[in-house]
Amino acid sequence: MKSLRSVNQYFLTYKWRLLFGIVFIVLSNYFGVLAPGVIREAIDTIILEAKHSNWFNGTSSKEAFTSEFYRHVLMFTGLAVLFALLRGVFLFFTRQTIIVMSRHIEFDQKNDIYQHLQRLDYDFYKRNNTGDIMTRISEDVSRVRMYTGPGIMYTLNLVVLSALVVYRMFDVAPTLTLYAVIPLPIMLVTIYYVNQIVERKSELIQTQLSNLTTIAQETFSGIRVIKAFVQENNFINRFAKESEEYRGCTLSMVKTDAFFFPVMTLLVGMSTVITIFVGGRQVINGEITPGVIAEFIIYINMVTWPFAMVGWVSALIQRAAVSQERINQILHTQPSMSFGNVKEKELNGLVEFKHVTYTYPNTGITALHNIDFKLKQGERLAVVGKTGSGKSTLAALITRMFDATEGEIRIDNRNIKDYDAETLRKNLAYVPQDVFLFSDSIANNIAFGETETVQEKVVEVARSASFHEEALVMPKGYETVIGERGITLSGGQKQRVSIARALMRDAPILVLDDCLSAVDANTEREIFHNLLTYIRNRTTVLVTHRVSAAAEFDRILVLHQGEMVEMGAHEELMRLNGYYRKMVELQNKSENLLS
């Protein structure tokens, strides 16, 4: 239950709804408890007047007595109906306050989690599955809502109703009350032990649900790969196996509920039997009236449903506690990187690596070692090297996807860590190696992140990325909606849309991470011809495995096994007759063989 303390902040936000909800619960139960008293009075009055009715047989007072008798019956009936109506009205207001409050809390909590997830850095998403995150923001929040709504409402209702009923019972017949509540201690002990079982099983259920969601998410995201390798049956079997685990956990919980509810019903039934037996003896002895037995039976049945709900509410609260603990794990996770407070509208674009080393924390592999170079404003740098040489890691460090293990990265002669997040991101345009497009129109994907979409600018950057002609032949041109992750486009088309999106930002620093791997050589040359004009005054870092593209850049950085082995212009490196020249000659031979 400690994990649910974090929900208290939302109760404070909606304290007036909660307060009025409590008032309405008290009023609805107050009028509900008055009704059995009216029934007791009605039964005792009817029995008494029925005994006396024989006295008036054959007399002139018979009609007056009968009229008075019916008046009493109507009066008691009217009071019972009035109390029932008042109870119903306040029950309606109870749901309109507490249940509506829970919906507001659900809305706020989902937004808070979503905003916090936006703040977390890249490393968090590498360590956590998308399916598990989705389960926490959907299923877990829904379970917490059941606590903040029905859980709170039914718990308060049970407490208030039990207090009022026991008070009324003691006020009417103290001795009979003591006998009627004998099963209560057994009920409380049963609830305590069942709660412990439910908590353990709830955690297993939620964990298995996350596994199912993760498998489903991976299946639908990678459906093309699954079909290409004819792995449908393997994934069906895998999902069926996890579903079987989930079913087993759920059925185990159902068995617990199946045991709990009959026990609760049995204990409440015992109270009814005890009330009738003991109450009957007291009626014979003249200690109470028959109406008291009827009143007590109504009271016992009145609390039967709330007490029977204890198991359900307990399971609900335990599930909510487990879910909130999972939510807290996200909310208590802080970004591993902290940003500074320096704010600049526009940076010049000076980039400097000072003895930078980066080691991946999860694997311990050193991707870059002692990288040292400096780029002037508007200078263009190509980074080449074999696969695994650290090219993409270098690009990610410039965009601050993660921080260097050693050394310092500076932009405009200031440590990159000193800038606030918005300043850094707005002055950087990044085309990642793994292109991601949204299920939206082509124009909106290109203009992503821009507050005002200017069609002329969209067309201009699309031309620079050599995508304009292809966009025009789409069914609706630039307004054509592409599928999830751009599934309706080819790999090369997605890369060019991604390049256009980066150019749309018009940032002083442009980082291109092997963004033309899916296009042919002719298209690549066309794009670079367009780009060289567009990026003339921008500091540009191009990560590429094609040395033909690197030849057009001011300087070329050659990486090998994470170390900087050469750096200079194309002609300069060719004269060195070193690692770079061997790469050029090897790629030329490969292209000649393919042609």
- Return the residue matching tokens 């008070």: 167
Torsion of CA 149, 152, 156, 157, to 10 degrees: 40
DSSP bridge pairs for 27 = none
Q: H or E segment at 539?
A: strand 539-543
Residue 16 in tokens? 């007036």
Measured distance CA(141)–CA(580) in Å, rounded: 55
| pLDDT tens by residue, the chain, 595 residues | 678 888 889 999 999 999 999 999 999 999 988 888 888 888 877 777 666 666 555 565 666 666 776 777 788 888 888 988 999 999 999 999 999 999 999 999 999 999 988 888 777 877 777 777 888 888 889 889 988 998 899 889 888 988 888 888 888 888 888 888 787 777 777 776 776 777 677 778 877 877 887 788 778 777 767 877 777 888 888 888 888 888 888 888 888 777 777 777 777 778 888 888 888 888 888 888 888 888 888 888 787 777 767 767 877 888 888 888 888 888 888 877 788 888 877 888 899 999 999 988 877 888 999 999 999 988 989 998 888 888 888 988 888 888 888 999 999 889 999 988 888 888 888 888 777 888 888 888 888 867 666 788 888 888 888 888 888 888 888 888 886 666 677 777 888 888 888 888 888 898 988 777 666 667 777 777 777 777 778 898 988 877 777 887 889 999 988 899 989 988 888 888 888 888 888 877 766 654 5
CA gap 418, 410 in Å, rounded: 9
Q: At what angle do helices 62-94 and 15-52 cross, to 10 degrees?
A: 160
The model's pTM: 0.72
> What pLDDT is stored for residue 486 in this prediction?
65
Looking at residue 207, its amino acid is T
User: Which residue's structure tokens are 């999902």?
Assistant: 239
Q: In what order do the strands lie in the sheet with 414-415?
A: 366-375, 351-359, 406-411, 414-415
The span from the CA of 126 to the CA of 119, in Å, is: 15
Q: For residues 357 and 408, is the Cβ–Cβ distance under 8 A?
A: no
Q: How far is CA 543 from CA 131, 381, 393, in A?
A: 31, 9, 10
SS3 content of the chain, % helix, strand, coil (to 5): 70, 10, 20
44 and 289 in contact (C-beta within 8 Å)?
yes
Burial of 176 (0-12, 13-18, 19+ CB in 10 A): buried
User: Which backbone phi and psi does 375 adopt, to 5 degrees?
Assistant: -110, 130
**How far, in Å, CA of 426 to CA of 410, rounded?**
16
Sheet hosting strand 563-568, strand order edge to edge: 428-431, 509-513, 539-543, 380-385, 555-560, 563-568
The one-letter amino acid at 394: L
- CB-CB contact of 306 with 268 (8 Å): no
Strand 414-415 to 406-411 pairing:
antiparallel
Residue 245, CB-side half-sphere exposure with 13 Å CA sphere: 14
Secondary structure in 3-state letters for 84-108: HHHHHHHHHHHHHHHHHHHHHHHHH
One-letter amino acid of 60? S
Q: Walk me through the domains of the chain, giving residue ranges and CATH numbers.
A: 2-331 (1.20.1560.10), 351-594 (3.40.50.300)
The burial class, CB within 10 Å (0-12 / 13-18 / 19+), for 363 is exposed
- CA separation, residue 305 to residues 255, 308, 310 (Å): 20, 5, 9
Burial of residue 12 (CB within 10 Å: 0-12, 13-18, 19+) is exposed
Query: Would the CA dihedral through 43, 48, 51, 56 be positive or negative?
Result: negative
Residue 330 and residue 117 in contact, taking contact as beta carbons nearer than 8 Å: yes
If you search the block for the tokens 């890691």, which residue do you land on?
393
- Which one, of 512, 496, 577, lies nearest residue 546 by Cα? 512
Which helix (H) or strand (E) covers residue 351, if one does? strand 351-359
**Which residues are within 8 A (CB) of 233 and not within 5 positions of it... i.e. 6 or more apart?**
none
For the record, the structure tokens of 457 come out as: 């600018």
DSSP 560-579: ETTEEEEEE-HHHHHHHTSH
